[in-house]
Structure 1
């Protein structure tokens, strides 16, 4: 399933959205050049590791402030081509409209804030995990939460594979994104009964659910529901 938005034109160039996509790609290319040992060390330094964040709260680490940095830096790390590709596709589809409504600076604050709060949500439910939490999914989930609130009647042209060919259907955003959130929430609850709250396949479902909810909250606080002067209207 590949979403392709077909409405809600933007009136400004979404430079922050493009910049975030470019930065994620640049970091991923850098990761590809690392050895296995180098990549493990890179993740250990810049990924969000819940038990290290817990230790920083308890004063067990010499430089606890650095662990807070991982709430942001982990958003630019990815575990593979499909991971980074899927995340950046959703950012490209939904990010430009939210940036158009919030403006460049507020959108950057919103994006990084949702990502950090998503990481904290994952930490709350599994503070002793030693598994690094990486990826832009939490921040992008926040963008999706803001999108469903601001553009519930927008249509998402969705590419669906049918055995040997593809077809497209137009799905209202409120159903497309609503179904996505319910799915993530159910997986989050199910993960409580597993050994690790990262769930099946190492997916941080709590971060996804948390990012979506915080997107619903932070968006209006930053002026999402107000029309910007000169903004394109449907």
Structure 2
């Protein structure tokens, strides 16, 4: 039984990024988030970041934004569903293809958000787009399967069908939207874009793995 190396790596990176956010004092913390979040108007070139904001470029922000989160509850919710769904998808695709698939789903989510409002100056952060793609993959690969909780050295089957857990994910997103204040917007288009991307890519990714005859 191989550990879900890629899923563990993503979780660690998200937690480390959040710890960096938390250890920085204001205004450095906000500058860090702004510089590495995905701002649609910055990505399209309509706006520029302030010169004192650290950044590795607008293209890099499409990736780095997937590892940032607004608060500890945002982080915890995303990491919970990543851990529950990531393992089965990683087993089906293989470690490397799974990692590429995850990033492409996140990019699909970012792309949908940009297409929806290319002039938006609101920073978008979170792994929700990529995780939405994982949910789509899990439902397509194992529509009648039960959730599996990965523990050190063992896997425990949970009495929850995958499609029911998908409904729970959507419910949590809805609650976040209701609880959010007017300045805390939920990136619904990112969720939709990630889900559609995962639906389109999961079968080609799985088939390409089967045809290669090698485990990545």
Q: Tell me whether the two structures share a fold, i.e. TM-score over 0.5.
A: yes
1:224 Cα deviation (Å)? 6.0
- Residue aligning to 1:120: 111
Superposed CA offset, 1:108-127 (max 9, x none): 10001110110111111011
Q: Does 2:210 align with 1:223?
A: no
Assess if the C-alpha contact under 8 Å between 1:115 and 1:136 holds in 2. Answer: yes
- Partners of 1:80 and 1:182 lie apart in 2 by 19
| Structure 2 equivalent of residue 5 of structure 1 | none
Residue from 2, 11, 18 that aligns with 1:21: 11
Q: Which residue in 1 is equivalent to 2:166?
A: 177
Task: Tell me what 1:151 maps to.
Answer: 142
Correspondences of 1:78-157 after superposition (within 5 Å): 78-156=69-147
What is the distance in 2 between the residues matched to 1:225 and 1:178? 29
Cα distance in 2 for partners of 1:29, 1:183 equals: 24
Q: CA deviation at 1:176?
A: 3.4
Residues 1:200 and 1:132: Cα distance change in structure 2 (over 3 Å):
closer
Alignment equivalent of 2:192, drawn from 186, 205, 209 = 209
Task: List alignment gaps of at least 5 residues for structure 1.
Answer: 1-10, 158-168, 188-198
Measured on the aligned residues, the alpha-carbon RMSD in Å equals: 3.2
TM-score (norm 1): 0.73
Partner in structure 2 of residue 72 of structure 1: 63
Show structure 2 runs of 5+ residues with no match.
50-55, 149-157, 176-181
Query: For 1:126-173, what per-residue CA distance to the aligned partner results, in whole angstroms no more than 9, with x for missing partners?
Result: 11111100001111111111000001101249xxxxxxxxxxx94422
Which has the higher relative contact order, 1 or 2, with Cα contacts under 8 A spaced 6 or more apart?
1
Residue-pair matches, total: 196
SS of structure 2 residue aligned to 1:223: helix
